[in-house]
């Protein structure tokens, strides 16, 4: 939030240390994403999007460090107006950009029905616009020596973001739970998906709950815990995004380990003009997560170990000749991160 008459140097120094620690976690996650073999399957706009989010978080860390060093150099008790505006704008922009990623995932869960995500978009706009003006209201609060103008804008941003986070997380959890029912034989895969989902989704609502309780019920926004927590909200969203993306690798590894290897005869099939590795088996399960390399030959019932980019499907194929034009399938699909 920048230097104000309500924050002491100790609070600023602690906040900077927290920023550096989280930044130190984000950088290895970004390197893992950029060096992963899965990056070749991601579209260029998505790769640019991920690097854009990480560039914003790095800029946020640099701005906070500069502000603190400037204080020790000049001893001016209040940040320059540009810093007061820039710090909350970066914070809100990071959070809003990541929220769009999870709204997009809900849109895919809703089978791309735009009507179902309109309430989520409404909450996103309600949070984003007051959040962008938070810097202006912070400057006004410093001029008037009252925190109230910034307090109102922050309350709208935090509460709307919290409501949006609850809706997005609830949608994902219900979808995974309904897909999970009756598939106990795939516990290892679903357990990994649950772990990635909860770890990535937990941090932002926890921080926003702290802000709402400590900043508006127990104490005020000038309390050190509230100030540091507000500043870390944007980075918590970036961390949530990177855990989700890097978690895809763990899901794929668990998926590969869970596919039975015995009794399979390789087959090459074409699905949507993309080669898919298949194998023959009397009755088995199908997983889809992303395009796989080709294998050849075989007849009988089909076991597909092919991968689709955006979802994991679990189901079973009945016996059928490869040459025939019909097949009986029962498939469960789990929408995964981009």
The torsion of the CA quartet 44, 46, 52, 58, rounded to 10 degrees, works out to: -110
The dihedral region occupied by 259, where left means phi > 0, alpha psi between -120 and 50, and beta the remainder, is beta
Q: Which residue has the higher pLDDT, 49 or 216?
A: 49
Q: Are residues 269 and 321 in contact, defined by beta-carbon separation less than 8 angstroms? A: no
Please indicate whether residue 327 or residue 125 has the higher confidence score (pLDDT): 125
Mean of the pLDDT values across residues 24-48? 88
What pLDDT does residue 321 have? 39
pLDDT value of position 96? 96
pLDDT value, residue 196 = 85
76 or 104, which is more confident:
104
pLDDT band, residue 138 (cuts 50/70/90): confident
291: phi then psi, degrees, rounded to nearest 5: -60, 135
- Residues 45-71 pLDDT 10s: 999 999 999 999 999 999 989 888 877
176, pLDDT greater than 50: yes
Taking residues 302-330, what's their average pLDDT? 40
Give 9-258's CATH code, choosing from 3.30.160, 1.20.1070, 2.60.120, 1.10.1740.
1.20.1070
Residue 175 confidence (pLDDT) above 70 = yes
CB-based contacts of 315: which residues, under 8 Å, 6+ apart?
285, 286, 329, 330, 331, 332
Which of 191-205, 252-266, 310-324 is most confident?
Answer: 191-205
What pLDDT digit, counting tens, does each position of 255-282 carry?
666 655 444 434 434 444 444 334 344 3
Which residue from 192, 179, 294 is spatially nearest to 253, judged by alpha carbons? Answer: 192
Q: What is the mean pLDDT of the segment spanning 181-197?
A: 70
Given a cut of 50, whether residue 325 has pLDDT beyond it is no
Residues with Cβ within 8 Å of residue 204, at least 6 apart in sequence = 95, 161, 165, 233, 236, 237, 240
CA distance 158 to 173: 22
Helix 44-74 / helix 81-109 crossing angle, nearest 10 deg: 160
Res. 293: pLDDT tops 80: no
Domain ranges of the chain: 9-258, 265-335
Residue 257 confidence (pLDDT): 67
Would you give the distance in Å from CA 17 to the centre of its chain?
Answer: 23
pTM over 0.85: no
In sequence order, the 6+-apart residues with CB closer than 8 A to the CB of 75 are none
What six digits make up the tokens of 132?
Answer: 């962008």
Phi first, then psi: what are they for 223, rounded to 5°? -65, 140
């Amino acid at each position: 939030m920048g230097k104000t008459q309500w924050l002491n140097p100790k609070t600023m120094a602690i906040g900077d240390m927290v920023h550096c620690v989280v930044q130190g976690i984000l950088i290895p996650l970004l390197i893992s994403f950029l060096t992963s073999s899965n990056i070749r399957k991601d579209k260029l706009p998505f790769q640019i999007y991920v690097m854009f989010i990480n560039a914003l978080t790095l800029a946020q860390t640099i701005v906070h460090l500069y502000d603190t060093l400037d204080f020790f150099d000049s001893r001016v008790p209040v940040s320059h107006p540009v810093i007061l505006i820039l710090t909350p704008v970066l914070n809100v922009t990071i959070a809003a950009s990541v929220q769009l990623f999870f709204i997009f995932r809900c849109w895919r869960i809703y089978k791309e029905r735009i009507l179902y995500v309109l309430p989520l978009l409404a909450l996103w706009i309600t949070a984003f616009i007051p959040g962008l003006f938070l810097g202006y209201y912070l400057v006004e609060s410093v001029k008037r020596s009252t925190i109230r103008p910034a307090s109102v804008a922050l309350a709208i941003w935090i509460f709307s973001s919290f409501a949006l986070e609850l809706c997005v997380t609830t949608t994902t959890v219900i979808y995974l739970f309904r897909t999970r029912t009756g598939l106990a034989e795939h516990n290892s895969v679903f357990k990994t998906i649950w772990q990635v989902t909860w770890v990535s989704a937990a941090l932002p609502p926890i921080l926003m709950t702290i802000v709402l309780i400590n900043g508006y019920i127990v104490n005020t926004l000038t309390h050190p815990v509230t100030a540091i927590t507000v500043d870390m909200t944007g980075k918590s969203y970036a961390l949530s995004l990177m855990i989700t993306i890097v978690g895809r690798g763990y899901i794929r590894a668990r998926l590969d380990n869970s596919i039975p290897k015995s009794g399979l005869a390789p087959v090459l099939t074409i699905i949507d003009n993309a080669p898919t590795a298949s194998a023959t088996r009397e009755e088995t399960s199908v997983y889809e997560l992303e395009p796989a390399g080709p294998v050849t030959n075989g007849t009988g019932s089909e076991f597909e170990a092919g991968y689709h980019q955006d979802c994991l499907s679990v189901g079973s194929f009945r016996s059928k000749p490869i040459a025939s034009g019909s097949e009986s399938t029962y498939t469960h699909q789990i929408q995964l991160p981009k």
